[in-house]
Each structure stands twice: as C-alpha cells, then as structure tokens.
C-alpha cells in the first residue's frame, strides 16, 4: 500500500511538473463551436482570452500581437484555420503539431491533441503550447526553415535537364506531366505565378545556357528576386538561389535551387533606398525639394505636356537684413517658418527651395486664381510672425513650364519692388536703429540719440545703478506714472512694469536684471547685456543695457534701450 501510494505520488508529481512547468498554455477546446476553458495561461502572452468568444479568434490574435516571429505567422495561420483542424482531427489524427519561433528568438511547440472518441458530436480536444526542448532547437530551426522559409527546394541537373523535388509548396500551380527543369520554369511563369512586371528578369535568370556559363567560370551562388503569387492570390517578393552541388562538374552540372520568401527584407531595402534618394532630392535646412529636383520635375512636365500647371514663385523679404542684424540662425528660423507655412497651405503640391530665399510651388490641380488666393493666405499667416514674402503666380500647360516659371518670377520681382517702395520708412527705421546702436555703443553720448530720436524705440533711460535713480531723454507717459507711484525708485518702477506688462514666463529673468549689484558684474564681464522678452500683448521686446562711462564714486550710469 505504501509502495502504491509512493508510486501514485511520483506519478502525480510528474504530471504536475509537466503541466505546470513544461507547458506554457493548456486549454480544453470545442473544435466545432470554438468554446474553450483554459487550464493554464502564460503571463508572457499579453492577449487576454476573456476578450474573445472562440479559441480560433484568440489564437489568431496571439500572432497579430507580435508574439510570433513574422516569418512563421503565415504557416501559423494555416495551422489554426478551423476547417483544417476539424478535417485533420475528425480524419483520425490524434496529435497535430506546429513549431514556430517567437519574436524573442525562442521556440514554441503548438499542438492539438484529441482523444479516440473525439467526433463532431463530442468535439473536445486539448490545445497546448510548450517551450521547445533546448537540445532540439538547432534541428527544429533547420526543419522549420525548410518548411516555412523555403517555398521550394530542387536538385537539378542541367546536363540531363532533369530535377528532383526535395520540398514543394502545396499551393504551387504546375501543369501535369512536367519532367524537365526548363519545362518547370516555363510552366511556373505561364500559369501566372510570376508578376508580369518581373517576367523579363525571371526568364533571363532561368536561361539554362547562361546558368551553365556562369558555373563554368566560377562556383559562386547566383540569385534573382521576383514577385511570386501566394495562396491568397497576391504577390510576395521571393528569391531564387542556385548553388553548385558538392559533386558539380562541367560534364555533370548538378545544382541545388532554393526559392525562399524575402518579402519583408525586400520591402525594408526598398524603403531604405527611397529614403536615400529622397534625402538627395531635398534641401537640408527646410526639407523641401531642392533645385536639382525642381529642374527634373520641369523636364517631366514638359515631356508629359500636362494640361494644367500652376507655378507660385515666392521670395522672402528681409532675409539679408535679418542675417546681418540678428544672425544666420534667426534667418534660418525664418526660412523654415516660410517652408512650413507653404507646406501647410499647399499640402498636395510640390514645393521647392531653389535658392537662398527663393521658393517655388508647382501644382497640377490648382488654377491660377485659386493659387493667388492661397498665396495671400500664406502672406497673412507669415505676417503674424513679422515675416513677409513677395509672390508671383502663373498658369499654363506643361510644355510651357519654363515660360510659366519665368513669368511667375517676373511678377514676383515687380511685387518685391513695390513692397520695398511701400516699406521704405520701415527700412529707414531699421537702418537708423543699427546706426543708433552703433553710436551709443561707441560714443555713449545721449546727444547722438537726440539727433536721431524717432518713434522706433519703446523707451531709452539713463539709470544710475549705484543710486537707483534715473534721467531720461525718451520715456513713455505710462512709465512716468509708474515712477511717481514707486516714489521715483527705478528698480521698483521696473518691477511694477514687469508685473503689469511682461509675460509671466519672463518675469523672473527680467527682474534678475534689477539686482544692480549683479548687473554691474555682468557689465564688467561683457560690457553689454542683451535681453529678449515678450509682453502680455504678444509683442516681442529687446532690451540692451550698457555703460555710458566708467564707474566712479559719484555714480555708475547705464543706458537702457527698449526696442
């Protein structure tokens, strides 16, 4: 009795160990209606069975979740197809198995085991998922590669024009009575298994005389990629490799032919090539198409003689001045802003940066009037950023593409000239600003400012940071009120100004300038402080602070220029 209990205990331990450790998942399944009950569920499979009404949808979702390596999903889907399972189980197969590789590189064995009395009236079976034995992984990988990756493996002899099938694709269509390799190649293509665009490549590659000539010269592998019809009627990229057999000779041309799926690999390569070509065709700063692509597209438009082509030619106003006054980084920001705005308003059209500040849009859809209206919207949008462009629009047929672009450019030049004529006052003010800043920096004398005073400055103050006092030559009325309220303490008045007018994100950094002791150290180190900030009304401000003379015991006077 004790021996019997001991034997039973060992048996139960073995069963428990097998169920709990070796199997990843166990489920009792009705293979007719798909109902199921899990006995064990792996935490590594994130798909929740409770979200599904039948086992087949759940099994499909496991693959779709990315748990299974993409190379093995097609075979997996065939394996779990309900009608296939029912036909095999009710046909008498007690255990059917499919091995696949997981996305983490490890192997699983998926099996369906049914008792002898499993019938359509009593359709219960066990679905199990088990980690593959590590000692058999290499063999499993090789066998699975043969069964999943390779569509076909043939041993061929070009001397006798014969072939022997090592592995064949069950979905492959080949005419009956095929006995030679040349007939097999021809039949395979004739039945539509090769995409029509790849027929020339396929036919040239399978020319037996060319294959013999290659292997007479060298024993290296030869390969050909083409699109091959799959079971669903679509086309997947496949690769045919031919290698010399171990006992190959010129008089006995024995070769091995492999046909394998390379669809994902090929698509990834195509995307990489497209990215390289696209990078070559684009402007590095704005990512718009470049001048090289522009000329190519003009040539295409002329050769195709498209019925409608509309050109918008745009030039940025003030890029040179911005680069000189604020630096090239600010100029680059402006160019990118213009590029992004053009893309936003002309999303379906080709846009190019063909020069430093010149942009072109080519459209096959827009009429001239519509393009002109959109160009006005672009200009209004850019005005919000204090940027401006001059534009010209022209339409015609593709054969006149060069003339269309030239006329659009001429119109743009006229509009640019009108723009600068109407903004001469603004340009004069910018020039005066630059001259004034130069004079104040070099001369540090308020008399120069009095000679050039205008409405371009928000305020100019002479502040003695040693005594927190002020004298001024140009000050807005509202700040006079703040000074009176602050009992003529300049630092307190500026704090009140910050609280009332400066955007909250800038208040701390603005008030840091009002620590006059630290400000004096900054001026010792840099001679000049240049600070940008925003007001609550959205206005962008610039404040420059510099000394008017060397510090002395009596005072330490600085000039504050708000612009």
Residue 102 lies in a domain: yes
φ/ψ of residue 238, rounded to 5: -125, 160
Q: What is the pLDDT of residue 551?
A: 64
Residues 550 and 435 in one domain: yes
Structural domain includes residue 274: no
* Domain assignment of residue 533, yes or no: yes
Shared domain for 339 and 373, answered yes or no, is yes
452: burial class by Cβ within 10 Å (0-12, 13-18, 19+)? Answer: middle
**Cα–Cα distance, 316 to 285 (Å, whole number):** 15
Residues listed for the chain: 563
Does 415 share its domain with 442? no
Task: Tell whether 11 is covered by a domain.
Answer: no
Residue 112 lies in a domain: yes
Q: pLDDT value at position 324?
A: 65
Strand partners, 107: 101
pLDDT of residue 135: 44
Same domain, 417 and 287: yes
Distance (Å, whole) CA 490 – CA 472: 11
3-state DSSP assignment of residue 480: helix
**Tell me, what CATH number does 235's domain have?**
3.30.450.20
Q: What is the pLDDT of residue 433?
A: 53
Contacts (Cβ under 8 Å, ≥6 apart) of 531:
509, 510, 513, 542, 543, 544, 545
Whether residue 236 lies inside any domain: the answer is yes
Task: Enter the DSSP assignment of 308.
Answer: -
Residue 3 lies in a domain: no
Q: Which of 422, 439, 471 is the last residue of a domain?
A: 422
Report the predicted TM-score, pTM, of the whole model to 2 decimal places. 0.36
Residue 51: give the domain boundaries. 16-132
Structure confidence at residue 153 (pLDDT): 80
Measure CA 269 to chain center.
16
Helices (H) and strands (E) in the chain, counts: 20, 19
The answer to whether residue 212 is domain-embedded is yes
Whether residue 192 sits in one domain with residue 121: no
Shared-domain flag, residues 65 and 107 = yes
Residues 6 or more apart whose CB falls under 8 angstroms from that of 177 comprise none
- Domain final position from 216, 235, 267: 267
Q: Where are the alpha helices (DSSP H) in 353-423?
A: 368-383, 401-422
Whether residues 103 and 156 fall in one domain? no
State the chain's mean pLDDT as an integer.
Answer: 80
Same structural domain, 526 and 554: yes
Q: Are 321 and 358 in the same domain?
A: yes
> Total structural domains in the chain?
4
Q: What is the pLDDT of residue 86?
A: 92
Question: Pairing relation of β-strands 557-562 and 459-464?
Answer: antiparallel
pLDDT digits (tens, 9 = 90+) for 380-436: 999 888 889 999 999 999 899 999 999 999 999 999 988 888 766 555 455 545 544
- The pair of structure tokens assigned to 12 is 């139960």
Q: Is there a single domain that holds both residue 156 and residue 67? A: no
Measure the CA–CA gap between 120 and 98, rounded to whole angstroms. Answer: 23
User: Domain boundary at 267, 292, 321, which?
Assistant: 267
The pLDDT of residue 258: 86
Are residues 394 and 288 located together in one domain of the fold? yes
**Segments of the chain scoring below 50 in pLDDT:** 1-20, 134-147, 428, 432, 435-436, 439-456
What per-residue confidence (pLDDT) applies to 171? Answer: 63
Q: CA separation (Å) from 253 to 164, 243, 268, 536, 542? A: 14, 11, 35, 85, 83
Say which CATH number the domain at 500 has.
Answer: 3.30.450
Q: 170 and 226: one domain?
A: yes
């Amino acid at each position: 009795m004790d021996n019997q209990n001991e034997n039973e205990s060992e048996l139960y331990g073995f069963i428990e160990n097998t169920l709990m450790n070796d199997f990843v998942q166990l489920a009792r399944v009705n293979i007719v209606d798909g109902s199921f009950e899990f006995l064990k569920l792996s935490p590594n499979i994130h798909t929740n069975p409770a979200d599904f009404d039948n086992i087949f949808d759940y099994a499909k979702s496991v693959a779709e979740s990315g748990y299974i390596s993409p190379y093995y999903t097609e075979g997996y889907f065939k394996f779990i197809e309900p009608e296939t399972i029912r036909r095999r189980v009710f046909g008498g197969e007690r255990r059917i198995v499919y091995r696949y590789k997981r996305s983490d590189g490890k192997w699983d064995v998926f099996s369906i085991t049914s008792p002898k009395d499993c019938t359509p009236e009593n359709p219960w079976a066990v679905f199990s998922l088990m980690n593959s034995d590590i000692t058999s992984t290499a063999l499993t990988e090789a066998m699975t590669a043969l069964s999943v990756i390779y569509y076909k493996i043939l041993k061929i002899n070009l001397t006798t024009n014969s072939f022997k099938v090592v592995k064949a694709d069950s979905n492959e269509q080949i005419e009956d009575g095929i006995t030679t390799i040349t007939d097999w190649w021809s039949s395979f293509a004739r039945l539509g298994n090769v995409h029509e665009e790849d027929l020339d490549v396929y036919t040239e590659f399978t020319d037996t005389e060319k294959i013999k000539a290659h292997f007479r010269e060298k024993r290296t592998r030869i390969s050909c990629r083409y699109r091959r019809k799959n079971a669903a009627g679509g086309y997947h990229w496949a690769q045919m490799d031919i290698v010399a057999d171990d006992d190959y000779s010129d008089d006995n041309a024995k070769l091995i032919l492999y046909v394998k799926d390379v669809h994902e690999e090929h698509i990834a390569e195509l995307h990489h090539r497209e990215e390289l070509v696209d990078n070559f065709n684009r402007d590095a700063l704005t990512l718009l198409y470049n001048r090289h692509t522009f000329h190519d597209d003009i040539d295409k438009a002329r050769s195709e003689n498209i019925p409608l082509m509309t050109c918008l030619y745009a030039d940025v106003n003030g890029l040179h001045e911005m680069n000189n006054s604020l630096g090239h980084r600010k100029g680059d920001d402006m160019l990118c802003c213009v590029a992004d705005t053009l893309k936003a308003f002309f999303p379906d059209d080709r846009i190019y940066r063909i020069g430093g500040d010149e942009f072109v849009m080519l459209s096959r859809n827009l009429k001239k009037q519509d393009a002109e209206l959109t160009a006005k919207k672009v200009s209004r949008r850019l005005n919000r950023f204090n940027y401006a462009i001059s534009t010209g629009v022209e339409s015609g047929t593709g054969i006149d593409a060069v003339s269309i672009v030239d006329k659009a450019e001429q119109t743009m030049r006229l509009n640019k000239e009108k723009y600068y004529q109407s903004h001469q006052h603004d340009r004069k003010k910018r020039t005066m600003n630059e001259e004034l800043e130069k004079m104040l920096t070099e001369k540090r004398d308020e008399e120069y400012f009095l000679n050039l005073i205008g409405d371009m400055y928000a305020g100019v103050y002479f502040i003695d940071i040693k005594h927190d006092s002020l004298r001024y030559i140009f000050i807005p009325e509202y700040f006079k009120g703040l000074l009176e309220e602050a009992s003529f303490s300049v630092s307190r008045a500026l704090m009140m100004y910050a609280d009332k007018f400066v955007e909250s994100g800038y208040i701390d950094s603005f008030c840091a300038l009002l620590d006059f002791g630290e400000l004096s150290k900054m001026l010792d180190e840099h001679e000049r402080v240049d600070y940008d900030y925003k007001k609550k009304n959205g206005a962008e401000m610039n404040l420059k602070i510099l000394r008017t003379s060397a510090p002395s015991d009596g005072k330490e006077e600085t000039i504050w220029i708000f612009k």
